[in-house]
Amino acid sequence: MIEELRYTLRSDGSSDKALIPILTWLLREHKVECAIQSTWADLRRLRKPHKTLSEQIKWSLELYPCDLLFIHRDAEKEGLEKRIAEITEAVEEVSEDLSNIPPKICVIPVRMQEAWLLINEEAIRQAVGNPNGKQKIQLPQIDEIEKLVRPKDELFDLLREASGRKGRRLQQLDVRLCANRVTEFIDDFSPLRSLPAFQILDNDIERIVKEQSWVTSNLP
């Protein structure tokens, strides 16, 4: 059993840092009780942009050493299986240059990760700083969120409605920043377990945790 688990999230963009509370919650759900240190791989500070996924993975590991690497790609129009194949191929390329690559887990929401944030009305209100707002907002049904064509737009619209702002004050609302904060106010992501893409992530984390013996032995 390790005393601390360090994981790094390589993602498509900075807004995907919102996935970190979800990943930490899943690790806790699978009985990882040690300290967890999470890091988002910020590659924007590199002088030379690295466009290929394999390059991004390589630099993520070199700059942010970890015990577990999460690699995020939105499925969008490409589909889940193709994204998994892309990630697997990229990791194999990296393994030719780096030794001791940590276990990797694919994080592939259908469409965009914003779909996974459409599950908690209170969190959306909290994220815009209006927890006691009375504005009526309608979240999609859980079995519909991965079918949304543009979940980011759906989330942004809900944030604007929940803010209760009008006119210039509404224009000043930074919905991107608010969207990044939504998962900070959610304690339970279990509703997402009904989604096939989330089930894959859940199962992969459970498998890796057991393979690496990160499970706290005295827990039932």
128 in the same domain as 93? no
Residues 6+ apart with CB under 8 A from 44: 14
136 in the same domain as 174? yes
- Cβ(91)–Cβ(101) below 8 Å: yes
Whether 189 is in a domain gets the answer no
Whether 219 is in a domain gets the answer no
List the Cα angle 70/72/74 in 5-degree steps: 160
Task: Tell me the residue range of the domain where 106 lies.
Answer: 4-110+195-211
Whether 99 is in a domain gets the answer yes
47 in the same domain as 25? yes
Whether 217 is in a domain gets the answer no
Q: How far is CA 10 from the centre of its chain?
A: 10
220 has pLDDT over 60: no
DSSP of 2-52: -SEEEEEEE-SSGGGGGGHHHHHHHHHHTT--SEEEEEE---TT-SS---S
13: domain CATH number is 3.40.50
Q: How far is CA 139 from the centre of its chain?
A: 20
81 in the same domain as 176? no
pTM, rounded to two decimals? 0.92
List the Cα angle 198/110/60 in 5-degree steps: 80
The pLDDT tens digits of the residues spanning 49-74 come to 677 999 999 999 999 999 999 999 98
The pLDDT tens digits of the residues spanning 95-141 come to 888 878 999 999 999 878 899 999 999 999 999 999 999 888 999 99
Whether 218 is in a domain gets the answer no
11 has pLDDT over 60: yes
171 in the same domain as 120? yes
| Total domain count, the chain | 2
Give the residue from 140, 136, 135 showing the smallest Cα distance to 115. Answer: 140
- Which helix (H) or strand (E) is 171 found in, with range? helix 167-171
91 in the same domain as 45? yes
Diameter over CA atoms, the chain: 56
Whether 167 is in a domain gets the answer yes
